[in-house]
Every structure is written in structure tokens, then in C-alpha cells.
Structure 1
Amino acid sequence: MAKEYQVPFKLADPSLLHFDSCVGDKWVESKSGKRFEVLDPGTDQAWASCPASTVDDVPDAVETAHKAFEEFRKTTPRQRAKWLLKWYDLVTDAKEDLAQIVTHETGKPLAEARGELDYSLGFLWWFSGEAERIQGSVSQPAAPGRRVFTVKQPIGVAAALVPWNFPVAMVLRKVGAAMAAGCTMVVKPSPETPISALVLAELARRAGIPPGVLNVLTTDLENTPSLSEALCKHPLIKKVTFTGSTRVGKLIASHCAQGLKKVTLELGGNCPYIVFDDASLDQALDQLMALKWRHAGQACITANRIYVQSGIYDKFAAALKERTQALVIGHGSDQNTTLGPLTTPRSIDKAIAQVENARKLGAEVLMGGNRVTSRPGYFFEPTILSNMTKEMQITDEESFSPIAALYRFDTEEEAVKLANDTSMGLASYAFTKNVDRIWRLLENLEAGMVGLNTGNQSAAESPFGGMKESGYGKESGKDVAVQEYLVTKTGTLTVEGHF
């Protein structure tokens, strides 16, 4: 029996809330009977609990998804599109309730939680259209009397291993593409953010999506590695999609290699943000403020290394400090809050270590650099570090915290070399009004996505994914995202007679 908790917010529709895993048409406990607590990062208080599923719970979930796949694969693209659009309508209606849940799971301010919901809904809308645009081909080969044609078919049951920083967006981006293709899915949400995924499953049920098409297995931090491995290695899982760290992504790839599973990996960022002296300073600062401090810096595509040309470096640093000082730290549910807590306490320890390392090696702390001790929760001061160098930890590691690290450069060639001097390649950003330089940067920066006079560049219609050790495969965008859940089958026909 689940322990009773005091939910610290009111919902317009309390019946949305479920605290057990979703398998088929049932809400189920773990076979172990164990549960884990869901904490509010803004107070460090538990407000719910969910099943701590183990490897013993994997077969039922996967077999349920496989049974559903045998029927779901036969549905028409039009029907799948209708289900996605109905789900879109229901998530839209529940947007304010979901925003409250996301805020109390992740800590992000309500305004940002609402922004995530708007962003997330784009995936359901987009993939409802993509469902009917899956096409094969017909061609005439060199051999006489033959025709070659291809058909696209859903690959099978997919597993989605989802992070905590955008818990609704990552579920809908993955499930939307899978459903459009005709695949079913088992979602393993992060231990920090299981409730929002369970609400999405409830809304999918209300949308008429058949039982077993979307299954959600919750688990705690301790069981996450073994449960994820079991999903990756289950013979009925044909595709795995993972968003998270490069270190864990390599483990996921190795698990999937044993079964030659198709894998999409969206991994670490360490993204450079380059500002040239001919840039619009206001534009570069506006975009940086939105990108850097969103969700307290906990986004894979946030600006991790900020390179500013020498001619405007001091002016840029002073303006960034002035704007950052206006941020309001507080609980995400407070309408005045513009910077919420970190989602996990271990993120604070990492932030402190990075600041101390930079300070020891000669960086200047322009502001911040400390844990906030005046309130409960996992708060860290917005921090600006100046005079950063390549020897410092932040140069090689994602911060995933509210730390803006400023580096100085002189020439375009130097900026590109510094920006590319990382094993990762998810996103890069560049601000300049030189159109020739814009094009050179697009081609020379080693990243899967390049923002040109643009900060936040992620959208349902835009292919999302990196290169180098930031992973492979694409999520969202025209054609490419759905293709990740399809196999191409080739038919060759010999035609007798004359035309």
C-alpha cells in the first residue's frame, strides 16, 4: 500500500494523478513491492512515491507492448494521426496542471514549465502530420524486366530512457515519433520526474490510444542502471532511444550492441557560445540570458563556454552581470521566481567543485559561486566566471548548473579552434553581423546544430541531434525522426512480357 503524502499544489483535475507504473490498461506496483519518494527540489520534501521497478518487472511491460504492437502496426496512418491529435487536445487542456507537476518535480519556475508544455505540444502536432507522410519508392534498375520498390515498416517495440530536465518534452518527442511510425513503447522516466510521465500515460488512455502502446515503468536511482540494461537487452525491444550523459550513453550503446539494436543517443553538450565584436550586443545578451539561466542551466544545449571577442569582452561581461543580478531566486511555484533550484543535490556539489577549480587556476568570480543556505532546497547562486582558460574543469565538463563561464578570444580562427576543442558536438552558437562569417561558422563549427544569431533553436520541425561524442540519430524534424523507428524493406519484381 502506497504511503499517503500531502501534495503541495492543487490541480483542476486531481484524477490525472497516478503513482503506480502503467502497463497495458493497468496501474501496477513493482513485483518487489518497494517504492521510492519523489522530492520537491525547492523544499527537499517528499510529496509522492512510485514503484521501484526492478528487472523482474521488465518482461511483463515489454511483452504487453509487443502484444499491442502486433495490432497497432496494422492501424492506418490516419488513425494514428487522429489519436495523436486527440492526445494533443487533452495535454493542452491539462497544461496548467502539468506545469504545476513539472515545477514540483524539476524545480523550474512555472513560466518555464509552461514553456516546456508549449514546446512539448509541438511534437504531438508535428508527428500527427508525419504519420501520413511515410512513403516508400519504386524504381527501374539496370537489369531489364525488373522493378525495385521499397516499403517502410515499424521496427517494433521501442524503449525510451528519459532524463529529468525536460520530462514532458522528452517523452512526447520520443513517443510521438514512435507512434507515428506504428511502434509501441516502454518509457522509463527519471527517478526525479516519474509523475509527469504517468500523467501523460493517463491522458493517452483518455485519448483512446490502445492499451500497451504507451507503457511507463518507474524506478529509483538504485535500480535505474539494471532496469535500463534489462530493457536494452530484452529480445523483443528492437529500438532504444536515450537522452542523457555521454558516459551513460556509451553504456547504453554497449548493451544494445549485443542484440544489434537500433539506437538513438542524444548526449552531452559542452556547447560554445561565440560573440564577435560586430554582433548586436543586446541580441547576444538577450539570447544568452534566456539560454543560460533556463532551468538553472540544466539543459544539454545550454551555453557552457562563452567566448567573447577581446574588443567587447569587458563591456559584455559588465552587461551580463548587470542583467544577471536582476534574477529572482525562489521556489518555482512563486510567480516572481526567475531562477529556481537545481533538480538534485549532487548538482550543487559539482557546481561548487567547478567554481573552486576555476578560482584556483586564476578565474575571477564576478558574482555568485556559492550554495544558497538561506532557504531549503537545492539552490545555487547564479554565477559568472571571467578570465577562463582551457585548463579549467568547466572547459571539458558540462556544468548543468547556473554558471556562466567567460573566455576571451581575438580572431575567428582562434574562436573556431577553441569551440571545436571538445569531444562533444551537440550545439554551437555564434553572433555576428558578417554574412560571410555566418556561413563559414555554419560549416566549420563541429556541432549537429548551429544557432546563428539565435539562442534556443530546438523545435518540433527542426532535426535535433549531435555529432562526435554527443551521440547519433535525430529526434524531431521532417522525415528523419520517424525514420529512426522504421525499417526499409526492398522488393524486387521480375516482369515478363513486353510493354
Structure 2
Amino acid sequence: MTTNGVSSVDPSSAGDISEPQQLFIDGSYTPSSDGGTFPVYNPMTGSKLYDCASATEDDYERAIQSASVAFKTWSRMGPAAKRIIFLRAADILEKYMEAEAPALMSAEVSGTRHWTKVNAISGVGNLRESASLVSQIKGEIMPADAPGTTVLIERQPLGVVLAISPWNAPASLTVRAIATPLICGNTVILKPSEYSPKNQHLVVRAMIEAGLPKGCLHFLPVSAERTPAITEFAVKHPLIRHVNFTGSDRVGRIIAGYAASCLKRCVLELGGKAPVIVLEDANLDDAVEAVVFGSLANAGQVCMSTERVLLHESIAQPFKKALLARIQSVKVGNHEEDPNALLNGAVSSGAKLLCGDVSASGPNLTIMAPHVVDGVTPTMEIFQRESFGPLVCLTTFATDHEAIALANNSEYSLSASVFSKDVMRALDIARQVRSGSCHINNPSVYIAAGTPNGGVGGNSGYGRFGGMAGVLEFTELKIISLGKSGVKYAI
């Protein structure tokens, strides 16, 4: 049913990507309050795909008020009912990812079929993992000194959560942004990326179709021009109790500043500059395969991408030879950012380009071949700055101590890897690398439902998504004491 442009049925769900995308507020699809829209383009071709409604402050106000009202009932819903909704949503999203996501991801973010499959496995898995968490949100009973008193410590939901999710893994990271907050009993305002509204909306559709009650989840895309003002408005809104953001460290610092001014908690998963340490006893075939996957998956547009490869000097040459041979078989895909300045800067500072020609191609100049840069030092910008592109930077070391120092010579702290046949030696190194995760004989890009993903400060942000660590982020402790009648208090 539709009234004045407002509908309870998604008008863009008929399978035609050219259909406009609307907002979803208070259980209904609607245009923005001022009729504003923005175009969404295919990054590969530059051609327009569709128009998307651009939310205003009034739209956000209405959504936040609705979410605040819905919180009162959703936060009290029992775990069995929530579990059923999430399991249904997982099944529905799985079907969407098979039927609609391949075309949508190709059009909006130039995602390959393999990357679509990765998003499907991760997104659906996270929904099912969240369903399993609902009965694990527990409190405790503490002994009390006062006679006849019982002290309960309960873990309670926060209220309305603002979730800001990126474009590079649209289904997977959207699920991550909303699932744990919702399963903990919070309601959510989702601001998707302006590059991938329809991909991210697949997750919203799945939750709605699964029976998520009205007002629990709102979908409010915003144009790039409006985003700074809307973000400040939403983060500082008194009814927003928590913010989670996945994106660049530059924007993360801005959001953290807004939240700090209101003394609000945040989860910020920001950039990465993941190092991979290859020791002299490593299986080079395994290390090369992991580096190629970790650096080139989704054209390097992953926050955990391998960007720095630290090679023991004794195996540097055979590793380089094997790496270049393996990279020759990689098909070239689309790329959204422009890391050419980093490459040119490294070469002019003395690094050697082993693979690639520092150029972009394609109708919209968004295709970039893999590049391998040798002789990269910590003083070069390419060693320190996230490229978000298909770049592999090679640096040699002589000792374990030097490898650890090189790995930690970065403002990023999201992910890392160590390759060695001596697992205990690798474990010792992994414990000394400053990162939220460090994988032994595995790629730096490692995603599994339930793992507490996040950085340990600096440009990678703070806080954790996933598993019980996520539950701790999106709930708060409350002390409740039960007193016995007839107690006399000394004054």
C-alpha cells in the first residue's frame, strides 16, 4: 500500500536496479522529507545506476524518535523470539545473496562473484552467530556485606545505536554493524555508504521480511554533500547512545571527537597497514599464496589487506621470484581509490617497482593492475600510509627483533601475519606485534563469525565487533541491590 510516496513495501525490490532507492523509517519506505536525491554510479563505467533518496536532519530526527519508542518493547523481547527472527533473516539473506547480490555488487562496487560469495558467507554467518549469542547475555550475583542484601549485576542494552557502514564489503559489514546491537536489545539507525545503498539494503530487507518489529531498524542513506552535517547531527543527538563506524581513520577521528564531546561510547574499526612477517624457515609457497590473497582480495580494498611484507634477508630473492610468478596469473579488477601518488613517491625515494606500471585504465580510469614494490623503508610514505589498493610492499630484515620493530613501526594496528614452520617462535613474535589480530601461517585478511575484530588504537581505532566482545560493547552493566525488610541503618 502506498500513500503520498510512503509504502510498507520496498518499491525497488522488483529486481530492476534502475528503480530509485527510498529511505526506510518507522516501518515504511519513504522519500526524503525535502525530496532530495543523489545519483549512484557504476565505478567501472561511470554510468548512472539509479537515484537514491538523501535523508535530511528531519528524517533522522523522525527515525531516532521512532527507534527510541521501539526500544522500550524490543529491549524486553525474550531471547527465543529474537533468535527466530535472526535465523529467518539469515536464510532470507542467503537467498538474496544468491539471486540479487551478484548483479548489485558488480554494478555498485565492481565486486567479483568470489567477493560476493565471501560477503554471503560472512554476512549470513554473522546473523546465525548473533542468534546464538542471544541467550549468552548474562549477569551475575555478587556477595553483599550488608546483611539480608542481594546484589545483582545485569547487562542491559544501551538504547538507540547509530551504525555507519562502508561500501567495500557491503553485505558483510552491514550485518556486522547492526546484528550485535540488535541482538543485545538496542534499536539501530543505519547510515549506509552513498556508494552502495542497494547492496546494504539487502540486509535491511532480510531483517524486515524475517519479522523484525517496526521501529527497530531504520535505513537512511545520505548524499556525500549532506553527510558531514548529518553525521554531526546524528552522533550528537541526545537519544543516540552509541556509535559504531567502519571506515577511514580521518573520518573516524571526526566521529570520535563528536562522540567525546557528548561523552558517548564508540566502536571504530578504521584503517590498516597489515604487516606479514616471513621468517627464513617459512613455507614459501604458503606465504606467497597468503600474501597474494591478503593484498589483492577485492583489489586490496579491505581494511585488513596485506600492505607490508617483511622478508628475512636469506629468503628474500626466492620469495620475490615466486611472488611475481604467482601475481602474473591474477586477473585485473576494478579499483575505487588512487594510490599512484604513493607508488610514485616510493620509486622517487629509491624503491624498485618489480611489477606494475603506475597507471590506471578502463572507461572510468578505475582499473589498476597489481603492483609489487621492493626496497621499501619505514621513512617512505607508502610504508606508513594505507593505500587501499592492490599494492605489495617488500622490506627485508635480519633478526626477529628487527622484524617486530618494522611491523610495529606504524600508526595502524588492525591485523598482521607471521609465517614460520616453528609455531612457537611465530607465536612469540605474534604476541609482540601490536595488532588486534595476528595470524600464524594464515593471511592477514581473516574473517570469521564471532571473532572480536578491531584495532588496538592509533589509525585503526578501538573497540570490538563480534562474539561476546561485541556484546560487551553494545550493553552496559547495571547494579541492582535487593534489600531485606526490617533492616536498621546506623546514622
Give TM-score, length-normalised by structure 1: 0.91
Match of 1:334 in 2: none
Aligned to 1:476: 466
What SS does structure 1 have at the residue aligned with 2:163?
strand
Is 1:113 aligned to residue 116 of structure 2? yes
**Counterpart in the other structure of 2:199:** 196
Deviation at 1:252, TM superposition (A): 0.6
**1:341 has 2:334 as partner:** yes
Correspondences of 1:69-148 after superposition (within 5 Å): 69-96=71-98, 97-148=100-151
2: CA distance between counterparts of 1:409 and 1:184?
A: 49
Q: How does 1:420-439 map to 2 (within 5 A)?
A: 420-439=408-427
Tell me if the contact between 1:352 and 1:370 (Cα under 8 Å) persists in the aligned partners. yes
Q: CA deviation at 1:18?
A: 6.1
Deviation at 1:432, TM superposition (A): 0.9
Superposition deviation, residue 371 in structure 1: 2.6
Deviations 1:277-336 (CA, angstroms, capped at 9, x unpaired): 10111111111121111110011101111111111111111111111111122xxxxxxx
User: 1:366, 1:122 → 2: CA distance?
Assistant: 39
* Structure 2 counterpart of 1:266: 269
What is the identity, as a one-letter code, of the residue corresponding to 1:63?
A: Q
- Residues 344 and 358 in structure 2, CA contact (< 8 A), matched pair in contact too: no
**Counterpart position of 2:446:** 457
Corresponding residue SS for 1:66: helix
Counterpart amino acid of residue 254 in structure 2: L
Aligned partner (choices 151, 165, 184) of residue 168 of structure 2 = 165
- Residue 200 of structure 1: how far off its partner (Å): 2.0
Q: Give the number of equivalent residue pairs.
A: 475
Cα deviations by residue, 1:161-213 (Å, 9 ceiling, x for unpaired): 11111111111112110111011101101111111122222222211111221
In the alignment, is the contact (CA less than 8 A) between 1:459 and 1:476 conserved in 2?
Answer: no
Quick check: 1:301–1:427 contact (8 Å CA) kept in 2? yes
Structure 2, unmatched stretches of 5+, are 6-11
Deviations 1:95-124 (A, max 9, x none): 121232122211121111121111111110
Question: 1:66-125 CA distances to partner (integer Å, 9 max, x unpaired)?
Answer: 122122112111111110011011001111212321222111211111211111111100
- Over 3 Å counting, the alpha-carbon distance change for 1:73 and 1:270 in structure 2 is same
Moved more, 84-93 or 372-381: 372-381
**Percent sequence identity over aligned pairs:** 30
What is the match of residue 42 of structure 2?
Answer: 40
Match runs of 1:267-416 below 5 Å: 267-329=270-332, 340-343=333-336, 347-348=337-338, 351-416=339-404
Q: What SS does the aligned partner of 2:256 have?
A: helix
Query: In 1, are the aligned partners of 2:417 and 2:438 still within 8 Å (CA)?
Result: yes
Q: TM-score, normalised by structure 2?
A: 0.93
Report the 3-state secondary structure (helix = DSSP H, G, I; strand = E; otherwise coil) of the residue aligned with 2:212. coil
1:362 aligns to what SS in structure 2? coil
Residue 373 of structure 1 and its aligned partner are, at CA, apart by 2.8
Once the two structures are TM-superposed, the CA of residue 374 in structure 1 deviates from its matched residue by: 5.0
CA deviation digits over 1:352-410, x for unaligned, max 9?
10110001001111111333335445111211111111121111100101111111111
Please give the alpha-carbon distance, in whole angstroms, between the structure 1 residues aligned to 2:34 and 2:240.
23
Q: Any conservation in 1 of the 2:57–2:233 contact (CA below 8 Å)?
A: yes
**One-letter amino acid of the structure 1 residue matched with residue 466 of structure 2:** S
Q: Please, which of 466, 488, 492 is the counterpart of residue 481 of structure 2?
A: 492
Q: Is the 8 A contact 1:108 1:296 kept in 2?
A: no
CA distance in 1, matches of 2:253, 2:396: 33
Q: Which residue of 1 aligns with 2:246?
A: 243
Tell me how far apart the structure 1 counterparts of residues 331 and 307 of structure 2 sit (CA, whole Å): 21
Query: C-alpha distance in 1, partners of 2:89/2:331?
Result: 35
Counterpart of 1:463, as a letter, is P
CA contact (8 A) 1:342 1:378 kept: yes
1:87 maps to a residue whose letter is: A
> How far is 1:471 from its partner?
1.4
Matched residue SS, 2:81:
helix
Q: Which residue of 1 aligns with 2:9?
A: none
- Give the alignment's Cα RMSD to 1 decimal: 2.1
Q: In 2, Cα distance between the equivalents of 1:205 and 1:149?
A: 35
**Structure 1's 15 and 443: CA in aligned 2 closer, same or farther, altered over 3 A?**
closer
Write the letter of the residue equivalent to 2:349: L
Which of the numbers 180, 184, 190 marks the counterpart of 2:183? 180
Q: Following the alignment from structure 1 to structure 2, what is the Cα–Cα distance between the partners of residues 152 and 11?
A: 38
Structure 1 residues 313, 15: CA separation in 2 closer, same or farther (over 3 Å shift)?
A: closer
